Amino acid sequence: MRPGFAFSVEATDPTGARAGHLSTPHGAVETPTFMPVGTLASVKGVDVGRLAETGAGVVLGNTYHLHLRPGERIVEAAGGLAAFMGWSGPTLTDSGGFQIFSLAEQVKITDDGAAFRSHVDGAAVRLTPEDSMQIQQSLGADIAMQLDDVVGLPAEPRRVEQAMQRSLAWAERCLEAHTRPDQALFGIVQGGLDPGLRQASAEALSRMSFDGLAVGGLSVGEGAEAMRATLSATMPHLPTDRPRYLMGVGRPIDLIDGVTAGIDMFDCVLPTRCGRTALAFTFSGVLKMRHARLIEDRRPIEEDCPCPACRHSRSYLRHLFLAGEMLGPILVSLHNLTMYARLMRRLRDAVLAGRLGVVAEQLRGPIEGEAD
């Protein structure tokens, strides 16, 4: 890896899971780790001080969004993404490929790159692998991602193969264009649900000089079983000496499955998005904070949780949502981020003890249900 970066695997579990340690110029994190999404240099509704208290390590920003607002030059002039948002830890920027797929208007993707209309003001935008590298180097995150061609699932096999091959070509261009020595660069495995394409993508990227590899193109409509099968087909073909990142995933059960498969890093908007819509994640299932049965419930969301929300009763938190008070979404977002960090710690401890299979099975059933 580049100077200032290091990754080591401290322990492995019979399931294939790993407990590791990732060092960056802005600090180190233990893996497996969940990375909160701060799309526009802000984790929605959560200030950086409270964010650190949740146990978060790495925070994400997004190339597409930050290029449109406020512009990478503004962020660069502030000292880079971490300084701009007041965050003292490591940061990662996604390349913008998923947002081109999910948000942009009038998109035209060719082998050269993507041309589209901004979802903000309709302005014409061009994004090539070289553009993505320039923007991400200006944003100055510790970890940058290659630009990839993302397709929704299900999709025509020919389109899936085209996207995989195009992403490989773009990976080589990103490596050539990326020159910042204090920023790691990760490649992204594509290939839809086709095991052969996933293997070919993983093996080709593994031969390149990326500092880590991500599994992309999932959580785009394929369903949990298909995602698990795709991970099983992909993971044996990824190198063991570099971090592995599952992009945009997901629910607590997905994190358990991902860690068991050997994934080291995760990100998803779900903890804060669900927090804003009155859904709290617990180790005994999801709790619907607007439910009438909570009207006189004096218990916290979760008894042993150290988050600010759990200093209050379920009754009070329900009241905040029904009254339209912004404090309700903020507190439940903080709870969900804390729960995800605690889940990562519990899984990591199980890997270190060689007991992940047992612990994962104990967690799976309750965590998928509805909390009492």
115 neighbors 173 (Cβ within 8 angstroms): no
267 counts as catalytic: yes
Tokens linked to 368? 């998928």
Which residue of the set 13, 149, 264, 267 is catalytic? 267
Which residue of the set 13, 94, 149, 257 is catalytic? 94
188 neighbors 171 (Cβ within 8 angstroms): yes
Angstrom distance (rounded) from CA 366 to CA 125: 46
264 counts as catalytic: no
- Which helix (H) or strand (E) segment holds residue 167: the answer is helix 157-177
Q: Report the candidate in 149, 138, 115, 137 with the shortest Cα–Cα distance to residue 2.
A: 137
In sign, the C-alpha dihedral spanning 42, 75, 264, 226 is positive
Angstrom distance (rounded) from CA 278 to CA 105: 31
Angstrom distance (rounded) from CA 59 to CA 42: 9
- The burial class, CB within 10 Å (0-12 / 13-18 / 19+), for 121 is exposed
**Active centre residues (catalytic):** 94, 267
